[in-house]
Amino acid sequence: MLPYANMPYDVPPAICYPLSESCMLLLFILTLLHAWKRGPGHVAYMLGGFGFGLLLEYVNVVSNAGYKYGQFWLMLGHAPDNIPVCIGMGWGIIIYTSRLISDSRGLPLIAAAAFDALLALSIDASMDVVAYRLHMWHWSWDNRPEFPSPLTAQWFGVPYGNFFGWLCVVFFYSTFARTLEKIQFSKKIVIRCWQVIIPLLSILISQVALWITLFPMATWLNERFGIRSREKLVFLLILLPVLTIWGFRKKKQTTTPALPVIAWLVPVWFHLYFFTWLFIGGFATENSWMTFFCVLNLFMAMVIHWWIHIRKPIGS
């Protein structure tokens, strides 16, 4: 069943969902193995991202937050209010590998969290427009008469609030986890236990911060100043890069360690996989501006990751 009667795209080729899910599972296993070699704290951080992502998506779908998922192999919950487990895997590996990159640059805490959020958003921007048209997940615009077309509503069918939410989730989780990690203990057994507890506490605190941001604060901003999702997204797209640039100027680390393969494999797969489906699915001819921004996002990601992974830093 298609999400909209006036959506011109049929279900994708049969290979699309199994291939997407299999690749996500493989990346999840590879990322988990990398975290395992680094220690329990890193495994807990990655699994915390996985659990946080599943929890967020499940609560949003069950509470009828305006979107549903297509049916994959591994699903959590009962149809139609169920979610693919691979979505949680995607959250986990994106959050984990983004932190691998920011940690390698020696950034101050807030700047590192801001950089994590921007790296994650770059990947999400590659996914959502294409995945939406592949019916992997879709937003309902039926109760929004000001948006008569599901393909042109807000960001080519993707709500601005979705991108705002991505930035908030990653920024909060990264910030609170990094802050709690600064608490030191002397006994090894206590340290191990604390490393496992940190992601759980980070999720709880992040959920509270997210609820305040998305509900009481959002209502107040809308009623008092008429500020809605688009304006809040623009604000973060200004604030987070400023924090990131400030962090790079303030960092004390003069050498940059080599990043593991998984740190570039994850973003490369997401960017190239969904960019390829943009053309295989026939979406590239739908809207020239949409295709332009998809190409621009890929180009920006290439520049960023060239600078991160390939270019030899000064002083190294």
Is residue 50's pLDDT more than 80? yes
The pTM of this model reads 0.93
Q: Strands (DSSP E) along the chain, which ranges?
A: 67-69, 75-78, 81-84, 137-139
Q: CA nearest 95: which of 45, 56, 138? A: 45
Range of 25-39, 77-91, 241-255 with top mean pLDDT: 25-39
User: CA angle at residue 5 from 87 to 276, to 5 degrees?
Assistant: 45
- DSSP string spanning 120-155? HHHHHHHHHHHHHHTTSEEE--TT-TT---TTTSTB
What number is the average pLDDT over the span 238-251?
94
What pLDDT score was predicted for residue 64?
Answer: 67
What pLDDT score was predicted for residue 144?
Answer: 80
Q: What is the pLDDT of residues 170-212, one digit of tens each?
A: 999 999 999 999 998 888 888 889 999 999 999 999 999 999 9
Contact 213, 58 (CB under 8 A): no
What pLDDT score was predicted for residue 61?
Answer: 85
